[in-house]
Structure 1
Amino acid sequence: MKKLLSSILITYAGFIQSNETITLVGGEWPPYVSESLKYLGITPRILTEVFATENIKVNYRFYNWARALEMVKKGEADGTFLWSKTTEREKYFFYSKESVGTISYVFFHLKDSPFTWSSLKELQGVRIAATIGYHYSDEFDRLDKEGFLNVNRVKSDLQLLKMLFKQRVDIIPHDLTVGYYEINKHFPESMKKLFTNHPLPIKKKPAYLLMTKKNSKNKKIIEIFDKSLAKFKKAGKYDQYYFDDLLANKYKKP
């Protein structure tokens, strides 16, 4: 994406002038965010519309996630998004109170292979595939490392779904949103309906908008954003964009 400089327009410290422009940075994580998607993905679509209600324009620049976070920490960009809260990060960033997404890992399975669970220790002997390098939860990774769980680690999320479809495994842990996006993208209509997920999350955590503390005005911007996002969610548009429009494949470019 063409690099766009942030235009900072303020009347005096802490007050926001209309027609403000901010720059948010992030990486590829479809369907949450991607240069290859319409609206740049679900999260930028929401962020852009929420800020627009306050006459704030958003420019997006793409880097790897670690670099994006470091840029915002140094004040080289205004903000980044889809980050969890940590004590260390709160030293450098203003956090939105309202989450801009929820990262939820669940077990996918085939509809004609019913599956239920309430504890990971119940899954001994169940054939599981998971992606190399992914952290699904502390307990899942510990039981995997100890050999209690029968986990086959593979190179990609798509490979997981293909193994599940071919019934080479019984269940796969996957991000709920990303999972259905990939099913929608890579499988024909006749196959999409074969997949489902168990509702109990393996891990679930909110993700937030972060803005650099290098610029004090960002505290006010975050406050404005939170109020507008709360109204956006109450109106039902958040759920529509994250769920209905995703399943309707509305993020695919023409």
Structure 2
Amino acid sequence: MLKDKIMHRSLFITIFFAGISLANVSYADTLKVCYDQWAPMTIFPSEESAERGVVIDMLDEIYTSQNYELEYFEVPLARGLDMVANGLCDMLPEYIVSKSAEKDFVYANEKTFAYTTAFIVRIDDPWRYDGIESLKGKHVATGPGWDYSAASIDYQNYIDDPKNASLVDVIAGYDDVVERIFHMISEKRIDLYADNDLVLQHVLNQTNLHDTLKVVRPGLDRKLIEIPIFSKMIPTAKRQELIRIWDEGRLSMKGEKEKKLFERYQVGFAESLSCRYPACR
């Protein structure tokens, strides 16, 4: 009888601790991250490369250091925004500052980066951006629905104006649109294209068109401020904790850690003396 009681108690203890262990597994801290392709900041991994980009590497380091597991969903931006709004993803690591977005999302306090814009043109083209008038007679490339208003309302108005339709080429497709634009500029089918300076550097490196194309600065009027957004479907206390982790982690990565991330992808802010790569000169 005593043996039976001991065995029963031992079995109960085993089941009790097994239950705790399973509960811990079931409720492990997992951060569901939606993101779109915007290399080198955010990259969809492929068979050739597991790289996810500067911002995703940063995000991963910040949250894994706090014992979070990250689950990634590589989706177009519009779908990613919907998934965060509906609670299917907890956050999206970069989105422009927008008052209208605040009804669906909660912004972190610390931005990912403030990006300067630049243009890509043919290497023998002396053109420089000097306001909207300097676009006269130039074939400008953009993508379907792309919005530049955060960097320049005047530039966005120029792109949208039906009077300029014959000089604004909207490039669509399923492959890498920006790489296609670079090749079209090289082939003299388009004259110029504006984007985040780091994106232009990265694509120039990827296409190996340094002898044909160049990045020209300055770009558009303002810097692009990009900040992580979090779902309003997350309980408030949990969301505040996730934002706190991001804010403190992002601040801790300024300086040397940030520099090493850029070096991994061979890009850098042009105004930084540490940028030694051809594409950012």
TM range (shorter): 0.7 to 0.9
Please say if residues 141 and 192 of structure 2, whose CA atoms lie closer than 8 Å, have aligned partners that are also in contact.
Answer: no
1:89 aligned partner: 101
More divergent stretch after superposition (204-213 vs 192-201):
192-201
Shift of 1:119: 1.5
Correspondent of 1:238 among 258, 263, 267: 258
2:210 aligned partner: 192
Separation (CA, whole Å) in 1 of partners of 2:53 and 2:162 = 38
Letter in 2 for 1:122: S
Please say if residues 35 and 77 of structure 2, whose CA atoms lie closer than 8 Å, have aligned partners that are also in contact.
Answer: yes
Separation (CA, whole Å) in 2 of partners of 1:8 and 1:93 = 24
After superposition, the Cα gap between the structure-2 partners of 1:129 and 1:46, relative to the gap in structure 1 and judged at 3 Å, is: same
After superposition, the Cα gap between the structure-2 partners of 1:7 and 1:111, relative to the gap in structure 1 and judged at 3 Å, is: farther
Letter in 2 for 1:166: E
Larger radius of gyration: 2
1:21 aligned partner: 30
Which protein has the bigger strand share? 1
More divergent stretch after superposition (159-168 vs 73-82):
159-168
After superposition, the Cα gap between the structure-2 partners of 1:96 and 1:113, relative to the gap in structure 1 and judged at 3 Å, is: same
Please say if residues 7 and 21 of structure 1, whose CA atoms lie closer than 8 Å, have aligned partners that are also in contact.
Answer: no
1:15 aligned partner: none
SS in 1 for 2:110: coil
Letter in 2 for 1:241: L
Q: What percentage of residue pairs aligned between the two structures are identical?
A: 20
Please say if residues 124 and 150 of structure 1, whose CA atoms lie closer than 8 Å, have aligned partners that are also in contact.
Answer: no
Aligned pairs, number:
227
Q: After superposition, what is the alpha-carbon deviation per residue over 1:135-168, rounded to whole angstroms, capped at 9, x for unaligned?
A: 3343224334254697240524333312322345
Is 1:208 the counterpart of 2:227? The answer is yes
1:179 aligned partner: 200
Unaligned residue ranges in structure 1 (runs of 5+): 1-5, 10-19, 249-254
Is 1:47 the counterpart of 2:68? The answer is no
Which protein has the bigger helix share? 2
Please say if residues 104 and 205 of structure 1, whose CA atoms lie closer than 8 Å, have aligned partners that are also in contact.
Answer: yes
SS in 2 for 1:22: strand
1:3 aligned partner: none
Is 1:161 the counterpart of 2:182? The answer is yes
1:251 aligned partner: none
1:130 aligned partner: 141
2:167 aligned partner: 151
1:252 aligned partner: none
Return the TM-score normalized by structure 2. 0.68
Please say if residues 141 and 190 of structure 2, whose CA atoms lie closer than 8 Å, have aligned partners that are also in contact.
Answer: no
Measured on the aligned residues, the alpha-carbon RMSD in Å equals: 2.8
SS in 2 for 1:38: coil
Unaligned residue ranges in structure 2 (runs of 5+): 1-24, 172-176, 268-281
Separation (CA, whole Å) in 2 of partners of 1:54 and 1:100 = 18
Separation (CA, whole Å) in 1 of partners of 2:165 and 2:130 = 15
